A and B are shown apart, each in its own frame.
Chain A
Amino acid sequence: MAIASISDYQASLREVPFLQKSLTRAPGSIILNWISLWDQPGAPGAGTLAVGNTANGAVPTDATVGAPTVNFGAGAGYITSIDWAGGGLPTGLTLVNDHPTRWMLYDRLFHAGAYAFNAAVTLASQPSYAARVPGSSYSGLLLLYETVTAFTGTQQLAVTYTNEAGTAGRTTGTQTIGTPSLIGQMFQLPLQAGDTGIQKIESVTSTTASAGTFNIIVARPLAMWASWNSLNEYGRVPMDVAGMTPIFGDSCLTLMHQISIAGVQSQIDVRAEIASK
């Protein structure tokens, strides 16, 4: 049943899936780009960056390696708050203030890859993620790109998809991705004018580059926050900000982050409270 009052919240099952990531990348000058934490070590353990399915794609769940377990099996679940803490100092770096890092928690609904730099693939029999879309509304889903191996040459990419209303053949247009040099580097792809979401990925066409591989992801954003000092900081996204976003028993909770100064990144612990009833 739904949580409809403070009393319901107090009586709800509350679990706190824990994402603790020890960041091992050396992002160097890759700043102000989203960077995936899917394959970073910690708890849960590292996910496999290459999806391993280019023909159909896959729908990862909380049982997929890399995602924390969500325990509630019945009723409705909500993200009611998020505690986060950064810590640790990467070797050779000093504490830097006023260089924020942004973080986004999302439900990884669908992923496909790893596609080669010259892939031209029309997907078939794509699994549906309809059960992980609140209210049957596909609006508000994001189309993301995730670098699996570093690129040589400037990549051009076009993705076609079925939009939120079920209209097939929509396209991102050909986007100049550039030369992703960092494994895990992510880009948000723009939707066709008028679109607000994605029901299905239809095709992936990459050209121009001469080396490199990548995934395509459909993500449902859940929360976003910023740490201000890169390191050694604690913060909380309280209930009224987290907004009691609906979550599902098999949601694949995933993090990405974005640094703002070359060479600096944070370790992160994230405890997302899920209340269910």
Chain B
Amino acid sequence: MTIATFDQWIASTKQLIPYSKTAARTTVANRWFAIHDLAGNPGAATLSAGNTANGAVPTDATTGFPPINFSSGTGYLSSVMFGNTVACRMTVYDRLFHAGAYNFNDSVTLTAQPSYGGRIPSANYASTQIWVECVTSFTGNQSIAVTYTNQAGTAGHTTGTIALGVAPTVGSMFQLPLQAGDTGVQKIESVVSSVASVGTFNVVVVRPVWNGRITVANGGEGHGLDRTGMPQIFLDSALALMLAADSTSSGAPDLLINIASA
């Protein structure tokens, strides 16, 4: 069943998921970074997606992602209590699909991509996003183009060739723009990287489910259901955290993520 009233929320099953990282990553101020591969709880994930030909759909059973305990009904991200030792922005997202690690000069057309349709609320792909995630550091500024099937199922749409303007460092994440008129992504079709001379990267499709801000080092806050908006979470969602620090360290973030299900 869905949670449609406050009484139903009260009656729902709650799972409090801690998400803590005990190791910090060297960051670039105001750039997004992956941190799901750092030590902590859950333990480190593997940064490289491990599949360039087809890509893969990570789940809560994938190493480095917290387990989602509810096994039936509908789940929602109900609240988040969060803090960090550094000022930063944070985004919790459902990692729907990833492919890589691609080389700096790869030109790959994917085949037999697994579907993440089961993790899209109401089969509406709007607001899914394409990100590039650095696996090993680059030499030279990377340019990248990704073609994809858009939210409506139209194939052959493209990000265009995007010059990142930097040589990405490990964990760096960059959101790629969608073609004019697009709002989401059903499938990644091809990946073409150029210009740089060293480095590897993943292409990731994400569904953001929560954003927060630490305004001062060691700050924290709690967002209840009125601020999270109770986005739907699936029993196999691969929840991960990306972080944009104000300075050069990802700090030691702590989140308590509450999943309500009924």
B-binding residues in A (CB < 8 A): 2-9, 31-32, 98-102, 104, 135, 137, 139-140, 142-143, 164, 187-197, 221-226, 228, 237-246, 258-260
Contact = CB atoms under 8 A, between A and B. Distances in A.
Interface stretch (B17-25, B104-112, B114-122): B17-25
Nearest to B9: A240
Contact of B219 (A6, A100, A189, A196): A100
Contacts of B182: none
Q: Which of A3, A140, A142, A192 has the most CB of B within 10 A?
A: A140
Q: Which of A6, A31, A241, A242 has the most CB of B within 10 A?
A: A241
Contacts of A8: 10
Interface string B164-191: 0000000000000000000000000000
B218 to A, nearest CB: 3
Nearest to A187: B22
Contacts, number: 155
A189 B81 CA distance: 20
Interface residues of B, number: 49
B222 A228 contact: no
A32 B6 CA distance: 37
B10 A3 contact: yes
B43 A195 contact: yes
B40 interface: yes
A241 B81 contact: yes
Interface in B38-57: 39-46
A163 to B, nearest CB: 9
21 contacts: A4-B11, A32-B218, A139-B69, A140-B17, A140-B18, A188-B20, A194-B43, A194-B63, A196-B42, A222-B16, A223-B81, A225-B222, A237-B222, A240-B78, A241-B79, A243-B258, A244-B10, A244-B14, A258-B85, A260-B216, A260-B217
Contact of B83 (A7, A31, A226, A242): A226
A190 B220 contact: no
Query: Which A-B residue pairs are the 7 nearest by beta carbons?
Result: A226-B220, A240-B224, A260-B218, A190-B39, A4-B11, A243-B258, A241-B222
